[in-house]
Structure 1
Amino acid sequence: MEMDIVVPVREGAVNEQLRYALRSWAAHLPHGRVWVVGHRPAWADGVQHIPTRQTGTKYQNTTLAVRAACEHPDVSDRFLLANDDMFVMKPLAEMPVLHRGPVRQVETYYEARASGAYLRGMRETRALLAELGHPDPLSYELHVPMPVDKAGMLRALDIGRHLDVVHKRSLYGNLAELGGREIRDVKVLHRAPRGYSAQDVFLSTMPDSFTAGHVGAHIRRTFAERGPYESRRR
Structure 2
Amino acid sequence: MGPLDLVVPVREGAVNEQLRYALRSWAAHLPHGRVWIIGYLPVWVAGVRHVPTEQAGRTKYVNTTGAVRAACEHPEVSDPFLLCNDDFFVMRPIEEMPVLHRGPVCEVEAYYASRGNGSYLRGLRETRDLLVELGHADPLSYELHVPLKVGKAAMLGALDAGRHLDVIHKRTMYGNLAGLGGERIDDVKVMHRMPRFPADSPFLSTLPDAFTNGAVGHHIRRAFPQACAYERRR
**TM-score, normalization by structure 1:** 0.98
List per-residue Cα deviations over 1:202-226 (Å, max 9, x = no partner): 0000000000000000000000000
Q: Paired residue for 1:24?
A: 25
- How far apart are 1:164 and its partner, in Å? 1.0
> How big is the alpha-carbon RMSD for the aligned residues of Structure 1 and Structure 2?
0.6
Q: Paired residue for 1:231?
A: 232
Q: Paired residue for 2:142?
A: 140
- How far apart are 1:134 and its partner, in Å? 0.2
- Alpha-carbon distance in 1 for matches of 2:138, 2:54: 35
- Alpha-carbon distance in 1 for matches of 2:33, 2:70: 18
Q: Paired residue for 1:194?
A: 196
- How far apart are 1:14 and its partner, in Å? 1.1
Residue identity in the other structure for 1:132: L
Q: Paired residue for 2:55?
A: 54
Q: Paired residue for 1:177?
A: 179
Q: Point out 4+ residue stretches in structure 1 off by more than 4 angstroms.
A: none
Runs of 5+ consecutive residues of structure 2 not aligned to the other structure = none
- How far apart are 1:12 and its partner, in Å? 1.7
Choose which of 148, 151, 173 in structure 2 pairs with 1:149: 151
Choose which of 107, 110, 134 in structure 1 pairs with 2:109: 107
- How far apart are 1:126 and its partner, in Å? 0.2
Q: Paired residue for 2:220?
A: 219
Identical aligned residues as a percent: 70
Q: Paired residue for 1:93?
A: 95
- Alpha-carbon distance in 1 for matches of 2:194, 2:118: 27
Choose which of 119, 122, 133 in structure 2 pairs with 1:120: 122
- Alpha-carbon distance in 1 for matches of 2:227, 2:208: 20
Q: Paired residue for 1:3?
A: 4
Q: Is the 8 A contact 2:31 2:94 kept in 1?
A: yes
Residue identity in the other structure for 1:228: A
Pairs aligned (count): 232
SS where residue 67 of structure 2 aligns?
helix
List per-residue Cα deviations over 1:65-110 (Å, max 9, x = no partner): 0000000000001000000000000100000000000000000000
Matched, 1:74 2:76: yes
Runs of 5+ consecutive residues of structure 1 not aligned to the other structure = none
- Alpha-carbon distance in 2 for matches of 1:20, 1:59: 23
Q: Is the 8 A contact 2:10 2:37 kept in 1?
A: yes
Q: Is the 8 A contact 2:14 2:43 kept in 1?
A: no
Q: Paired residue for 1:208?
A: 209
- Alpha-carbon distance in 1 for matches of 2:51, 2:195: 37
Q: Once structures 1 and 2 are overlaid, which stretch shifts more, 111-120 or 168-177?
A: 111-120
Q: Is the 8 A contact 2:91 2:201 kept in 1?
A: yes
Residue identity in the other structure for 1:38: G
SS where residue 115 of structure 2 aligns?
coil
SS where residue 81 of structure 2 aligns?
strand
- Alpha-carbon distance in 2 for matches of 1:191, 1:22: 22
Residue identity in the other structure for 1:122: L
- How far apart are 1:13 and its partner, in Å? 3.5
- How far apart are 1:196 and its partner, in Å? 1.7
**TM-score, normalization by structure 2:** 0.98
